[in-house]
Chain A
Amino acid sequence: MGNFMKEFAKGLIITNPVFVLALGLCPTLAVTTSINNALGMTLAVLIVLLGANTIVAAIRNFVPSITRIPIFIVVIASLVTMVDLLFAANFPDLHEALGIFLPLVVVNCIILGRAEAFASKNPILHSVADALGITVGFMLALLMISSIRQTLGTGSLSVFGFHFFTLPILGKQPIAILVLPAGAFLVIGLLLALFRRTGVMKSD
Chain B
Amino acid sequence: MLDKNALKKAFPVILLTIVVAISVNLLSFADRLTRPQIEAQQQLKIQNLLTGMFPDMSRYDFKNDIYTIYSDGAKIGYAFIAVGKGYGGDIDILVGLEDDTTIKGISIVSHSETPGLGSRITESFFTNQFAGLSIDEVALKRDGGEVDAITGSTISSRAVINAVRETAMEKVKQLDGSE
Residue from A33, A67, A85 within 8 A of B16 (CB atoms): A67
Chain B residues, CB < 8 A from A33 = 115
Query: Does B151 reach chain A (CB closer than 8 Å)?
Result: no
Name the segment of B18-26, B58-66, B69-77, B158-166 touching the other chain: B18-26
The bracket for how many chain B residues form the interface is 20 to 34
Question: Are A71's CB and B41's CB within 8 A?
Answer: no
Name the segment of B30-38, B127-135, B137-145, B169-177 touching the other chain: B30-38
Contact flag A67-B27 (CB < 8 Å), given A89-B41, A99-B112: no
Q: Give A72's nearest chain B residue, CB to CB.
A: B19
Question: Are A78's CB and B16's CB within 8 A?
Answer: no
Contact flag A81-B12 (CB < 8 Å), given A88-B34, A179-B116: no
Q: Is the interface of A mostly helix, strand, loop or mixed?
A: helix
- Which chain B residues in 31-51 approach chain A with CB under 8 Å? 31, 33-34, 37-38, 41, 45
* Distance, CA A78 to CA B20, complexed state (A): 9
Question: Are A82's CB and B41's CB within 8 A?
Answer: no
Chain B residues, CB < 8 A from A176 = 116-117
Question: Are B41's CB and A88's CB within 8 A?
Answer: yes
Chain B positions near chain A (C-beta within 8 angstroms): 11-13, 15-16, 19-20, 23, 26-27, 30-31, 33-34, 37-38, 41, 45, 110, 112, 114-117
The 6 A-B residue pairs with the shortest CB-CB distance in the complex, in nearest-first order? A89-B37, A89-B34, A67-B12, A78-B23, A85-B34, A176-B116
25 contacts between A and B (CB under 8 A): A62-B15, A66-B12, A67-B13, A70-B16, A71-B16, A71-B19, A74-B16, A74-B23, A77-B23, A81-B27, A82-B26, A85-B31, A85-B34, A85-B38, A86-B34, A88-B34, A89-B34, A89-B41, A92-B41, A96-B110, A99-B112, A153-B116, A179-B115, A179-B116, A180-B116
